[in-house]
Structure 1
Amino acid sequence: MNQKAHSVDPSFAAGAQDSSLYNDDLAPTGPAQRTWKWYHFAALWVGMVMNIASYMLAAGLTEEGMSPWQAVVTVLLGNLIVLVPMLLIGHAGAKHGIPYAVLVRSSFGTQGAKLPAMLRAIVACGWYGIQTWLGGSAIYTLLNILTGNALHGAALPFLDISIGQLACFLVFWALQIYFIVHGTDSIRWLESWSAPIKVVMCIALVWWATSKAGGLGSMLSAPSQFVAGGKKEGLFWATFWPGLTAMVGFWATLALNIPDFTRFARSQRDQVIGQTIGLPAPMALLSVISVVVTSATVVIYGKAIWDPIDLTSRMTGIGVGVALIILTLDTMCCNLAANLVGPAYDFSSLWPKGISYRAGGMITATIAIVMMPWKILATTQGYIFTWLVGYSALLGPVAGILMVDYFLIRGTRLSHRELFDENGEYSYTGGWNIAAVVALVIGVLPNLPGFLHTAFPAAFPNVPAFFNTLYTYAWFVGLALASVVYGVWMKARKSPSARVASA
């Protein structure tokens, strides 16, 4: 685990640059680029974790009937689970210096890799839009406070948001363009210095809430709705499993494209320690802060306020402006790292000679607008059980295929040159590895009926209960099925040769 991140395959330079699969952004990183230490990864995760969407996760679970502490434990458990593929898939980035879009070529083929790249990219576009909407909402709230609600207005037809909301959404969208243009180093810089500010803000928020309320409030000791006599008596497990799957799904996109960051690691030790410190504990801590502050709002305002933007808008004095500015910064930090870097590389991999990292970032930002993210956030049911669980059904199988291919089939050995060769080892049949495609389909299909019933209950009312139950475990089911199918299929073939630079 203490091994240094490997340098580029010596044979890679010879001819690889002429390949249609190559551009400088996708090429393996060299020693001079491997500068990320463990605290850079920890800061990266703190920067991504401390955001409005993460703060509201525990809220969504309590709205579905959990007690505050059941919600916190569910969030922690989900993040401990997703940390495992995060570290395993991150190993490939640290060892070989390649992004996710190149790594998937070893399992899906040099052309087939575009399929999982697009699946992950579209999900990330949705997330980029969601976080941009939340950042725009913070700006909208701040401007309304400063102007006496001058931005309030009727909702526009079809869009279902006002002109003021749309304008603030687009302003926040435009602010992020600077970091798209200046690349991943600018994002690392932003995350490194903003992480401590976020921690201080969280501590200040808890202090303010408990001081104002004269204590922690009664909500923390409130029982769940699953107890005897509760509104959802006996239904804990029916809520827990899809809730846990949603918590895993929350970072399932990063579990795939984490090589986009670990390719800059100095060593495996740096990426492992940094991610282990930076993800599970901060997510759990933020959930605790969320339930503590929300419990205090019951005393202060007479009702539970889970939305930090709504809460901030009720404060008075200069603090409200400072808080909303920090919330805006907070959302931008998370969005750029979690939802821009990955799809930018993914889109670049579709046409390496024509789409650079920056162009891929602009494509991501544009698609995010078209997806109208405010509609995804319209209801808790739609956000957690349709969006989070739904896309986890797509990404779980890809994660399983990647881990089986990289560790069990290839023993962590990859040929850098072959990854950029249209007719090389990873070209399979016409650039497609049928084993990976079939495994992906088999991993996704069992979850499809449950997804359709959850997303469109009026159109699909009579889905058998078995499929609805299966859907609650979507990420786990997809990962397990795809892993087994891919592993058995590839083992039945002659093991691929390990023509590699770095063992």
Structure 2
Amino acid sequence: MARHLRARVLVLPPLLARAAGDHLERHGRDPGPGEVLPPVLVLLTCCLLCWAYVEAGGFGPMLSLPSRLPPGQFWPVFLPSLNANISFWATVALNIPDFTRYARSQRDQILGQLGLPVFMGLFTFVGLAVSSSTEVIFGQIISDPIRLLGRIGGGAGAPAALLAIFGVGLATVTTNLAANVVAPANALASLSPSAFGGFRRGALATALLGAALQPWRLLASSESFVYTWLLGCSALVGPAGGIVLADYYLVKGMELDVGALYSEAPRGRYYYRKGFNAAAMAALLVGVLPVVPGFLHKLGVLSDVKEVFVLLYNNAWFVSFFVAGTVYWLITTLERIVWKRESS
């Protein structure tokens, strides 16, 4: 769990910085902390890896931790973890236009995202290597970055502790706040401009709602965070992503009428039925249904379900993504066929 958190903390800044830099440059202002500070995070991460390398005695001891899974247990653990990790990032994937819209051109936004796989791989390696090295250094595995930084600070004195606090605070301010606040704040402000009055109130409402959800309880264990929260969340973000991609690539052929996207005319191209895309809503429902029994079983509502439902839930993102996308494509295809027949 902590490895995923650490990866997210450190991978997003390059993309956010690029988008923010384009926006600020276009408006004639100097780049702010969102663009200047991400390299500092990269530097601090390199320092953490170097510390682990020196203290553990090289990459050999750092990467010598053997697998603790019994034979035959790899896939039952790997597949839910993979889906949970995809769900973790799928939320950002759905709202990435909140950042890429500030890019000056299509080329710029593509270049801004090319670094994501590279940084994701590098920082995942750092998380794995450093977590593994803690058994050699401290005699126990410490995967929680806060606990690890506390142990490092305890052994190296106040300067190391202050540096650790600075790094965590920097990551929170420059990355986590942006990644978790921008999308819902924009959504709330767009949903009801009169109630929220713009982005600032939407961001405040998001912060209050986030605190009300008590995330510290979700993070209390991997069971609640990975197997309940993230897998359950993947059953919603999966079909949303499948519908969006099916609509753009298969239904609309990668062509959008930008003006019509902002039109409220009842006969507008994207007005659908009284402003609602019934096909998308139906596909979303169908995409979620297969994983509901497994989710209720995980919550303890259903005491016994067939193994197939457990398997579907453990692969919730893949199942809901492909089911919803396929159903949406089929519905829209049938609608076009019916419309052509009626028109002729």
Aligned to 2:333: 491
Q: Does the alignment pair 1:320 with 2:161?
A: yes
Secondary structure, aligned partner of 2:32: helix
Deviations 1:75-121 (A, max 9, x none): x9xx9xxxxxx9xxxxxx9xxxxxxxxxxxxxxxxxxxxxxxxxxxx
Native 8 Å contact 2:240 2:284 kept in 1: yes
State the match for 1:340 in structure 2. Answer: 181
**Closer/same/farther in 2, CA of residues 345 and 256 from structure 1, 3 Å limit:** same
> Within 1, Cα distance between the matches of 2:117 and 2:3?
17
Q: Which residue of 2 aligns with 1:48?
A: none
Give me the whole-angstrom Cα distance separating, in 1, the residues matched to 2:228 and 2:62: 28
For 2:4 and 2:73, how far apart are their aligned partners in 1? 26
Which residue of 2, 8, 33 corresponds with 1:190? Answer: 33
Alignment of 1:244-283 (within 5 A): 244-277=82-115, 279-283=116-120
Alpha carbons 1:443, 1:481 under 8 Å: kept: yes
Q: How does 1:307-386 map to 2 (within 5 A)?
A: 307-314=144-151, 315=153, 316-317=156-157, 318-355=159-196, 356-386=198-228
> Are residues 1:200 and 2:43 paired?
yes
Matches within 5 A, 1:75-474: 189-216=32-59, 218=61, 220-226=63-69, 232-277=70-115, 279-314=116-151, 315=153, 316-317=156-157, 318-355=159-196, 356-422=198-264, 423=266, 424-454=268-298, 456-457=299-300, 459-474=301-316
Q: Which runs of 5+ in 2 are unaligned?
A: 20-26, 340-344
* Deviation string, structure 1 residues 218-272 (Cα, Å, up to 9, x no partner): 462233234xxxxx22121111111111121111101111111111122222222
Tell me the number of residue pairs that the alignment of Structure 1 and Structure 2 aligns: 315
Partner secondary structure for residue 264 of structure 1 = coil
Counterpart CA distance in 2 for 1:462 and 1:254 is 34
Letter in 2 for 1:295: S
Instruction: Assess, with a 3 A threshold, how the Cα gap between structure 1 residues 392 and 185 changes in structure 2: closer, same or farther.
Output: farther
Aligned-pair identity (%): 41
AA aligned opposite 2:257: S
Query: Contact (CA 8 Å) 1:52, 1:331: kept in 2 or not?
Result: no
- CA displacement 1:143-196 (0-9 Å, x = unmatched): xxxxxxxxxxxxxxxxxxxxxxxxxxxxxxxxxxxxxxxxx999x733321211
1:47 alignment counterpart: none
Tell me the residue number matched to 2:321.
Answer: 479
In structure 1, what is the Cα distance between the partners aligned to 2:141 and 2:60? 11
Secondary structure of residue in 1 paired with 2:258: coil
8 Å contact from structure 1 (residues 56, 307) kept in 2: no
The aligned residue for residue 65 of structure 1 is none
Q: C-alpha distance in 2, partners of 1:409/1:225?
A: 46
Find the counterpart in structure 2 of residue 39 from structure 1. Answer: none
* 1:322 partner letter: L
The one of the two structures with greater contact order (alpha-carbon pairs below 8 A, sep at least 6) is 1
Q: CA shift at 1:427, angstroms? A: 2.1
Letter in 1 for 2:99: F
Q: Is the contact between residue 41 and residue 170 of structure 2 (CA under 8 Å) also seen in structure 1?
A: no
What's the CA shift for 1:403? 1.2
Partner in structure 2 of residue 179 of structure 1: none
Q: Greater share of helix residues, 1 or 2?
A: 2
Task: Answer yes or no: is the 8 Å Cα contact 1:217–1:298 preserved in 2.
Answer: no
Q: CA deviation at 1:494?
A: 3.1
- Whether the 8 Å CA contact 1:393–1:474 is kept in 2: the answer is yes
Change in Cα spacing, 1:56 to 1:254, as seen in structure 2 (3 Å) is closer
Unaligned runs of 5+ in 1: 1-50, 58-75, 80-85, 87-92, 94-183, 227-231, 498-503
User: 1:408: how far off?
Assistant: 2.1
Q: Cα distance, 1:212 vs. partner?
A: 2.4
Stretch of structure 1 that moved more, 282-291 or 415-424: 415-424
Contact 2:4 2:85 in 1 (8 A): no
